[in-house]
Amino acid sequence: MPFSGPYGSILTLPRALPLAERRFSVDRIYKTIISAHRHAAFNAYLELHRQGLLNDHLLPIASVIEPELEEEVKAMLADVEKREGMANVSVGIDPWAPSDENDSWFCSLLTLEGLEPLYLFTRSETPSLDFDQGPTLYRIGCPPIRVSCLPHSRVASGDTKIALARDFTRRVFWALNGSRMDWDNLDFSYLFLPVRGADPVWDSRRTWLENNALNDPQRYRGHLMTQADEFGKEFGYPEDLTLIRRHIGFGRPWKFIGWKYDELTPEEESKLRERYRKLEEIVITYPLLIVQPFPPRSNFLIPLPDGSQGQAIEHPPSILLPSQSGIILLSHEDSEYSFLLPSVLRFLSAMMTANSLRKSLFPSSSLSKIPLSLLATAMAAPSSGDNNNYQRLETLGDAVLKFIVGVQLMAEYPLWHEGYLSRKKDHAVANVRLAKENLKRGLYKWIILGMHSVILVVHIL
């Protein structure tokens, strides 16, 4: 027959408690097991209270082992503070701003595979990036283009190279972004200059345009662009053109394919007249222009989809009237710079921001050895539009942070039970705590924000 009572109970507390006696028992006088256990537990609680390890309500609201930490434990047991939605902060750093009072420019050698190298002049020092560390640019129909940027020298502001670089930089960016620029503003945050020097052929063509503009300013009002038929007659309809505007003075440039000397077919003529139907009279004179639109892609840092690498997207060619079209006076190589340099600048801006963070916050700690590429990814917000941002690292970082905090707390408070340790960890890794540390250290100044909109930075130095 099963035992039906009476029952007693023996309770043994953990060895970690500093008590002379850890065993508490009651005699076999209780009708149920639960009643026996309750009375044994009550005797243990009374002893813990007599020893000052519980309050008058028999609740462990203070450290049972380290009474001097009572206030800390009370704060720990409070609810985790809620983070506010907004915080007032100052603007982020400008990686292109002058890094010292010296009135000179840092000079780096910028190399894009397949193109002639450029001098890059900046007011702050750029990190050294070889082809393995620099960006890779992805153009439709072309193999990947690797980029390197290596420090070269330092140049005084009065050097003739700086004046030439200002003119070249304006010319390269004006081709695609003239509507957002002031032609007379040459105060750029960065300057470019071909290492090999000027191209005499294209310099002579631009000189011809400048002379025409001086003689007839009402007719030649555009910079770097002239009417296609006049240019063709003057220079013998050359085949080394690159950028064509379908309408003089506005519209995105199209790619030059060639001059058409053959007579139009009825279908081609019908399309041409439809294109210029708003003109009162259409006079077709040969040669005509054959053009194609460029692929709609501006951020060349993002890899192409699998299977499209090196494959050009074929657009049907269009035929334009030279009398209604404009030619942008840039060589093929300079036109390539117009497309590619904004993406290079975007990458360099992120690297310089990461380098500034590394030098400012942990110049001599082990964190200074973090690769710039990884540090730039850790500082890039999803709104940056970069191919990589901190979201994936954030998942790993949260896990690592909680692990490290847990290990630290177990070492710092060896006698705390898991409830205290968990609450202490929650307070330590709470978003509000981390946000306050961010504000205290000014970490927000190095967060990389904004979509891929680095087309041109004009900065009054």
Sheet with strand 225-227: strands edge to edge: 225-227, 326-328, 243-245, 254-260, 288-293, 318-320
Work out the angle between the directed axes of helices 332-361 and 372-379 (0-180°, nearest 10).
80
Q: What is the helix, strand, coil percentage profile of the chain, to 5?
A: 40, 15, 45
Q: In the prediction, which pLDDT does 454 show?
A: 41
pLDDT band per the 50, 70, 90 thresholds, residue 455? very low
Q: In the prediction, which pLDDT does 358 show?
A: 87
Per-residue pLDDT averaged across 421-437, rounded?
85
Interatomic CA distance for residues 319 and 321, integer angstroms: 7
Nearest to 110 by CA among 406, 347, 386: 347
Indicate the pairing of strand 190-194 with strand 254-260. unpaired
Ranking 36-40, 69-73, 150-154 by mean pLDDT, the lowest is 69-73
Per-residue pLDDT averaged across 75-81, rounded?
65
Per-residue pLDDT averaged across 381-386, rounded?
78
pLDDT in tens, 310-362: 455 567 889 999 999 999 999 999 999 999 999 999 999 999 998 888 888 88
Return the residue matching tokens 């200074």.
368
**pLDDT above 90 as % of the chain:** 42
pLDDT in tens, 394-426: 889 899 999 999 999 999 887 677 777 888 888
Nearest to 73 by CA among 96, 51, 54, 47: 54
Residue 66 scores a pLDDT above 60 = no
Q: In the prediction, which pLDDT does 451 show?
A: 47
| pLDDT winner (highest mean) among 145-149, 196-200, 277-281, 305-309 | 145-149
What would the 3-class secondary structure string for 219-268 be?
A: CCCCCCEEEHHHHHHHHCCCCCCCEEECECCECCCEEEEEEECCCCCHHH
| Beta-carbon count within 10 A of 24 CB | 20
Return the residue matching tokens 């290079």.
344
Say what the pTM is. 0.77
Q: In the prediction, which pLDDT does 4 show?
A: 80
Interatomic CA distance for residues 8 and 35, integer angstroms: 9
